[in-house]
């Protein structure tokens, strides 16, 4: 199988050029591995599969601002791609790898509590997913979110119920945290709007001290009570970091497509 790999990474931190505004024309001039969406220039790594009607998008969690997340998540995207034969993209959210900070703060910003849970950020993710879907002419979107990425992805599943066909939530947060306000949106706020035709996969690590198992189990029960098509997977002895990259997680993700 011939695989086209679009792999544009910076080894290190975000360059100083991203401290300024990055215009759409400048972003497009950067070529493959960049897309302008939601007024941000987003860096990503893409691995092309045999099934071009489907697209898997991986959303990372919170790291120190400027971290080269694609250095960590591009190999994971390649692994998912090789396991499923589906085109897979790992994105770098604003302020990570070579992605801009035009209008948004990074999700690590301390200027507002729970930055990734804001309506502004979830709507940005929506625009990014739609832009990638249109660019690659995909008919079916699977999103894989870890930690803060899972929190945003779960909220997006309720904000735009028809956008995502498969939603993989790994060690996220789904209820309203302390100090949240009207600027925030969590999965619990849009649970009743989630699409019963979509497939949800919730993954937790038995030794996760950041997103404890009970967090996922409790929300899984609420999703089941809502009549959603949701599966629960435990990764035994696993903690929070790289939980989405474990063999058990990849097996569960792959099974979503084997059942079709």
What is the DSSP pairing of strand 140-146 with strand 51-59?
parallel
Where are the domains positioned within the chain? Answer: 5-258
CB 239 within 8 A of CB 207: yes
Rounded CA separation 152/168 (Å): 11
Q: Work out the number of other CB atoms within 10 angstroms of the CB of residue 239.
A: 14
Provide the percentage of residues in the chain whose pLDDT is more than 90.
84
pLDDT of residue 51: 79
pLDDT of residue 20: 57
CATH code for the part of the protein at 5-258: 3.40.50.1820
- Regions in the chain scoring below 50 on pLDDT: 1-2, 4-19
Nearest residue to 235 (alpha-carbon basis) of 212, 258, 203, 211: 203
Each residue's pLDDT tens digit, 63-97: 999 999 999 999 999 999 999 999 999 999 999 99
pLDDT of residue 260: 55
pLDDT of residue 258: 84
What is the DSSP pairing of strand 40-47 with strand 5-7?
antiparallel
Q: What length is written for the chain?
A: 260
Q: Is 203 helix (H, G, I), strand (E, B) or coil?
A: strand
CB 155 within 8 A of CB 196: no
CB 60 within 8 A of CB 77: no
């Amino acid at each position: 199988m011939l695989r086209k790999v679009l792999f544009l990474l910076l080894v290190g931190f975000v360059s100083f050029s991203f401290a300024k505004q990055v215009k759409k024309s400048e972003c497009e001039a950067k070529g493959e591995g960049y897309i302008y969406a939601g007024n941000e220039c987003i860096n990503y790594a893409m691995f092309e599969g045999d099934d071009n009607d489907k697209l898997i998008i991986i959303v990372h969690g919170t790291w120190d601002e400027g971290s080269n997340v694609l250095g960590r998540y591009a190999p994971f995207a390649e692994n998912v791609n090789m396991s499923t034969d589906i085109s897979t993209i790992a994105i770098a959210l604003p302020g990570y790898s070579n992605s801009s900070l035009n209008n948004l703060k990074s999700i690590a910003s301390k200027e507002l509590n729970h930055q990734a849970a804001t309506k502004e950020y979830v709507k940005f993710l929506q625009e990014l997913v739609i832009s990638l879907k249109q660019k690659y002419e995909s008919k079916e979107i699977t999103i894989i979110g870890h930690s803060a990425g899972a929190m945003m992805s779960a909220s997006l599943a309720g904000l735009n119920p028809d956008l995502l066909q498969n939603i993989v939530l790994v060690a996220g947060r789904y209820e309203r945290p302390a100090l949240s306000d009207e600027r925030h949106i969590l999965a619990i706020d849009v649970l009743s709007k989630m699409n019963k035709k979509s497939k949800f996969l919730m993954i937790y690590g038995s030794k996760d001290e950041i997103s404890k198992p009970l967090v996922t189990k409790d929300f899984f029960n609420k999703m089941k009570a809502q009549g959603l098509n949701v599966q629960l997977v435990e990764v035994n002895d696993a903690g929070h970091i790289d939980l989405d990259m474990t063999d058990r997680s990849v097996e569960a993700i792959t099974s979503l497509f084997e059942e079709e």
